[in-house]
Structure 1
């Protein structure tokens, strides 16, 4: 491996401009990088190569190996093992989770998402602005939606405003209560899968996946929603197109997802269990690699003029939710929240604007997650 020329994740030069490395990263399909831990890995940069790598059974997500590059110097918690799974264990888990977390369940939730959006917009209107969009809209919206999806009682939802203190003990208690008194929501459906299905979820898996869906289900979507608003407000011409035709909102969300990745692909780190060939280069067994989704989303071979933000774009599908067997199980819900939330904001507040210059917005200092700490808006 040659000496890494980049540190990864890349830094953001400004709140609305992509990391400068993305502009010329695709000149090489494989780029050595140094991770926050000080370990090295190979960054896979191109769209088609990343799809190939993610579909290759010789590329493992199991990072519980002594020679895998460490993402950070911090210890990975035990529950990470539930995420770092390969087939057949991962296939079994996805099949069981998929029985409960269905597209029908998400579609059934759309009217309720709309109701909650309207309630929060009413509160915003009464407040009169300026407000922090994170605190006043994006986070309350996603917390309420994911709690309703899971079946968390309304009076107990205040437990979930701070992901730095995950509600592990609470979730075990909630599962026990749902087992005694089941309802039609997701945790009860997961319990049913655990208790009745062949190859059932273990109690640890049930607890872990319920908690994962809660925590991952709201913070990333909330941050993405605020990030989408920032990016759209920074491009008045594109904003005008969406305002003129609200039917463009779903396409705009896809373009916003392509451009406004609020987290790095560091968590996509994989381990090569046998020699593989990528773009004519052999990557040897035992190598740690990162399929860089943000790089795939800016590959000029997949997206014409990738640096341009264009809500009318008709190129390839963005890979922000990954692809293949590790495609984000919560993607349909995230899309529904982003589409309904963004459409509601633009309809209710024609004069929506940032209350501070975009250059003054700050991102979280986290190697996995770089959403905006505050998004002051007015109208």
Structure 2
């Protein structure tokens, strides 16, 4: 009996996110990822999904109405076995309702308000750097700078009292656990964060102050398409995560990589006008968090540019690894802090472009310039290959980054 060789060329299922091994090198799985426009994956929960891998497909799908962000209303695969994270059946995250809500939020999250925070961001950065300088060495860059800078900024922005910031951070960190915390602890953090933000909305409605929460409450209450308190808390929670956790993780990833590549750091120290373009290139290149935040549900078959099909009923992730697509970026595996243009997808695209992007950019610029100026001899206290990335959290940043100067 003769056996006919298999002609099945469909890609095999791979575990996602890809492990960072070693921690400073782009995962091997990313390098060949775009050979298939649609890659079947297995999420941390064990549930199936597909990853759309190519830049132009990903960019187009961010605004495609056939992909729904209402993952709580559809039988979408879970990211985590014990954390629903963003699944909320009471929130409509698709147009037209989403666009009406985003319009209201954008009024409060204005460029004017973001830029007005720059002096405060510098003030906090200098205070943290002074404390680092006066403290013991090595210092953990994550705990001494990367985490406290954005949490203090976002708390000021939202109007969270200073005395609540530590509790606030613990709840957020627990809320974003994928597999690192037990289910009961995750649930306590999730419900605690939601209750806290709900009480914050009520307090700002009763006694407005000069912060984004008060402004959002006033804008919403005066608008015929006003947000319910539930929707407002959902938006505040989303802004909080974007404004704190992702920014803190990116500060850590960016500085760790710069200190690992001293020749790149020297280029910046010789010309600080490179800071904005270096920040953009590090956002493109030193990706953290993979694509878990882009979870979608496919409402009907979608044909991609090469004829591949994203099937109806699939759970879909839009690959931030598309930032390494050679069809969009010249020499994408090379870090080029002078890269221009640099239309990366780290903040999303189209109608789902991150509202907090201007704030994150500004904080990353302040952190990069501030640390390199303040500490001319700043360096990692161990080889970059020995840094440990977080396992079991929503974002793939570093557990700690010990530094000396």
Q: CA offsets per residue over residues 164-191 of structure 1, 9 Å max, x none?
A: 2353333333322222221221010011
Q: Are 1:177 and 2:185 an aligned pair?
A: no
In 2, are the aligned partners of 1:146 and 1:218 still within 8 Å (CA)? Answer: yes
SS in 2 for 1:42: strand
Q: Are 1:123 and 2:123 an aligned pair?
A: no
In 2, are the aligned partners of 1:36 and 1:367 still within 8 Å (CA)? Answer: no
Q: Paired residue for 1:306?
A: 332
The Cα of 1:65 is off from its aligned counterpart by 4.5
Q: Distance in 2 between matches of 1:154 and 1:115?
A: 15
In 2, are the aligned partners of 1:353 and 1:377 still within 8 Å (CA)? Answer: yes
Q: Distance in 1 between matches of 2:270 and 2:17?
A: 37
Q: Paired residue for 1:340?
A: 366
The Cα of 1:75 is off from its aligned counterpart by 4.7
Q: Are 1:328 and 2:336 an aligned pair?
A: no
Q: Distance in 2 between matches of 1:361 and 1:82?
A: 41
Structure 1 stretches of 5 or more lacking a match? none
The Cα of 1:302 is off from its aligned counterpart by 1.1
How does the TM-score come out when normalised to structure 2? 0.88
Change (3 A) 1:74 1:154: closer
Q: CA offsets per residue over residues 272-326 of structure 1, 9 Å max, x none?
A: 21222102123332222221112x1110111111111121122441111111111
Q: Paired residue for 1:281?
A: 308
Q: CA offsets per residue over residues 102-158 of structure 1, 9 Å max, x none?
A: 111101111111111111111111115211111111111111111111122233333
Which of 236, 251, 260 does residue 262 from structure 2 map onto? 236
SS in 1 for 2:117: helix
Aligned-residue Cα RMSD (Å) equals: 2.0
The Cα of 1:8 is off from its aligned counterpart by 1.3
Q: Are 1:252 and 2:260 an aligned pair?
A: no
SS in 1 for 2:147: helix
Change (3 A) 1:188 1:67: closer
Q: Paired residue for 1:186?
A: 212
Q: CA offsets per residue over residues 36-66 of structure 1, 9 Å max, x none?
A: 2333222211111111122221122221355
Query: Which 10-residue stretch deviates more, 14-23 or 312-321?
Result: 312-321
Query: Which 10-residue stretch deviates more, 204-213 or 65-74?
Result: 65-74
Q: Paired residue for 1:145?
A: 153
Change (3 A) 1:128 1:245: farther
Which of 57, 65, 88 does residue 57 from structure 1 map onto? 65
Q: CA offsets per residue over residues 212-232 of structure 1, 9 Å max, x none?
A: 323442121111101100111
The Cα of 1:367 is off from its aligned counterpart by 5.7
The Cα of 1:79 is off from its aligned counterpart by 6.2
Q: Paired residue for 1:222?
A: 248
SS in 2 for 1:167: helix
Structure 2 stretches of 5 or more lacking a match? 1-7, 175-188
Q: Distance in 2 between matches of 1:180 and 1:66?
A: 36
In 2, are the aligned partners of 1:276 and 1:284 still within 8 Å (CA)? Answer: yes
The Cα of 1:161 is off from its aligned counterpart by 3.0
Q: Distance in 2 between matches of 1:213 and 1:154?
A: 18
Q: Are 1:292 and 2:319 an aligned pair?
A: yes
SS in 1 for 2:20: coil
Q: Distance in 2 between matches of 1:31 and 1:183?
A: 48
In 1, are the aligned partners of 2:121 and 2:153 still within 8 Å (CA)? Answer: yes
Q: Distance in 2 between matches of 1:134 and 1:9?
A: 22
Change (3 A) 1:81 1:232: farther
Q: Distance in 2 between matches of 1:119 and 1:197?
A: 40
Q: Paired residue for 2:165?
A: 157
In 1, are the aligned partners of 2:16 and 2:44 still within 8 Å (CA)? Answer: yes
Q: Distance in 2 between matches of 1:82 and 1:237?
A: 50
The Cα of 1:11 is off from its aligned counterpart by 0.9
SS in 1 for 2:391: coil
SS in 2 for 1:161: helix
Which of 105, 109, 112 does residue 104 from structure 1 map onto? 112
Q: Are 1:198 and 2:224 an aligned pair?
A: yes
Query: Which 10-residue stretch deviates more, 179-188 or 241-250?
Result: 179-188
In 2, are the aligned partners of 1:34 and 1:40 still within 8 Å (CA)? Answer: yes
Q: Distance in 2 between matches of 1:361 and 1:129?
A: 17
In 2, are the aligned partners of 1:41 and 1:288 still within 8 Å (CA)? Answer: yes
Change (3 A) 1:283 1:227: closer
Q: Paired residue for 1:95?
A: 103
How does the TM-score come out when normalised to structure 1? 0.94
Q: Distance in 2 between matches of 1:283 and 1:349?
A: 49
